[in-house]
């Protein structure tokens, strides 16, 4: 049994995952960033100890996924946007020492991609890109079964490739990044600007309005699908992977988006065999983060 720990911007998911990628136990706790990493570590340890005791499972290792930047080799957190003051914390060392097992860490997008490659849409494939569309857009690239890393182990930030040079200001400081046009907040912001007299709507509500025939909500969803399709066209033309697996909160409305996305990618990618690139929604569902975290350990220590 592997313990998976998925540290996000606002919550930490943790649980036990068996050797077939099935989630046996699962708990979510708030990050409580201001209380610092030592407090988070203590809460994680307490819950994992309890889960191990209750299931009577033998713990083989711990896999950790965390919002980047992180150093997957040393196990240290970098200057994570949503975790100010946590830089330099090493959850790999601290959790491994506490349980007397090995542990490994990856950027959460890379962890999700590893889970997808082993237990999801990428089984039996050599190249896969996992793209999570939610508050932001994160992507992990798997080539020949392993995570693609850039210089000095850097994680590529596909969500920040520029789609519209004069587009909206992005959280990263640039303008017109894919994330600033095709994420959940991008959908909500555009709809709010078009409908100043309406209440502030969530992305889920806008999609429900679109399904009910609300014209402005439908335009907002069409715009979202257009920018998702344009960004994916760039990804396909540059890397031409066998599979692109889409996940994240925005993909809960995939029924409104996928046909348009496929049409745009087919129309834009003229010089690659686009029919050989499968673009589909992740089959791992809400547990993708936790399953990915467990696969981080398998990928490092059990290959
Ligand atoms: Zn950006």
- For residue 226 the two structure tokens come to 């257009």
- CA distance readout (Å), 143 to 127, 201, 274: 5, 39, 18
Residue 22 falls inside a structural domain: yes
* Number of domains composing the chain: 2
For residue 239, the CA-to-ligand 1 centroid distance in Å is 20
pLDDT in tens, 273-282: 999 999 999 9
Residue 209 and residue 72 share a domain = no
Q: What is the pLDDT of residue 9?
A: 82
Residue 27 and residue 46 share a domain = yes
Q: What is the pLDDT of residue 286?
A: 82
For residue 171, the CA-to-ligand 1 centroid distance in Å is 6
For residue 185, the CA-to-ligand 1 centroid distance in Å is 13
Residue 141 and residue 35 share a domain = no
For residue 223, the CA-to-ligand 1 centroid distance in Å is 18
For residue 256, the CA-to-ligand 1 centroid distance in Å is 25
The low-confidence residues of the chain, meaning pLDDT below 50, are none
Cβ-in-10-Å burial (0-12, 13-18, 19+) of 64 comes to: buried
Residue 185 and residue 149 share a domain = yes
pTM: 0.91
For residue 80, the CA-to-ligand 1 centroid distance in Å is 15
Residue 116 falls inside a structural domain: no
For residue 170, the CA-to-ligand 1 centroid distance in Å is 5
pLDDT in tens, 126-144: 999 999 999 899 999 999 8
Residue 125 and residue 241 share a domain = yes
Q: What is the pLDDT of residue 38?
A: 96
Residue 267 and residue 135 share a domain = yes
Domain of residue 72, residue span: 2-108+287-301
């Amino acid at each position: 049994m592997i313990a998976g720990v998925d540290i996000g911007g606002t919550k930490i998911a943790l649980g036990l995952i068996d050797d077939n990628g099935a989630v046996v136990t699962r708990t979510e706790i708030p990050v409580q960033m201001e209380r610092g990493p030592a407090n988070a570590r203590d809460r994680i340890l307490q819950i994992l100890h309890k889960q191990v005791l209750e299931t009577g499972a033998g713990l083989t290792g711990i896999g950790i996924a965390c919002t980047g930047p992180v150093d997957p080799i040393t196990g240290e957190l970098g200057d994570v946007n949503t975790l100010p003051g946590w830089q330099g914390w090493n959850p790999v060392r601290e959790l491994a020492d506490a349980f007397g097992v090995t542990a490994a860490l990856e950027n959460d997008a890379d962890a999700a991609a590893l889970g997808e490659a082993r237990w999801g849409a990428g089984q039996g494939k050599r190249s896969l890109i996992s793209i999570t569309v939610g508050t932001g857009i994160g992507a992990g690239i798997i080539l020949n079964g392993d995570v693609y890393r850039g210089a000095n182990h850097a994680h590529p930030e596909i969500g920040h490739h520029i789609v519209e040079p004069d587009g909206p200001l992005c959280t990263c400081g640039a303008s017109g990044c894919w994330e600033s046009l095709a994420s959940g907040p991008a959908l909500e912001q555009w709809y709010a600007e078009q409908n100043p007299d309406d209440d502030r709507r969530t992305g889920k509500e806008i999609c429900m309005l679109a399904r009910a025939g609300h014209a402005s909500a439908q335009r907002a969803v069409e715009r979202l699908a257009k920018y998702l399709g344009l960004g994916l066209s760039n990804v396909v033309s540059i890397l031409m992977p066998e599979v692109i697996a889409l996940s994240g909160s925005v993909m809960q409305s995939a029924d409104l988006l996928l046909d348009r996305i496929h049409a745009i990618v087919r129309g834009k990618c003229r010089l690659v065999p686009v029919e050989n690139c499968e673009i589909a929604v992740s089959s791992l569902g809400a547990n993708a983060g936790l399953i990915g975290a467990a696969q981080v350990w398998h990928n490092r220590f059990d290959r």
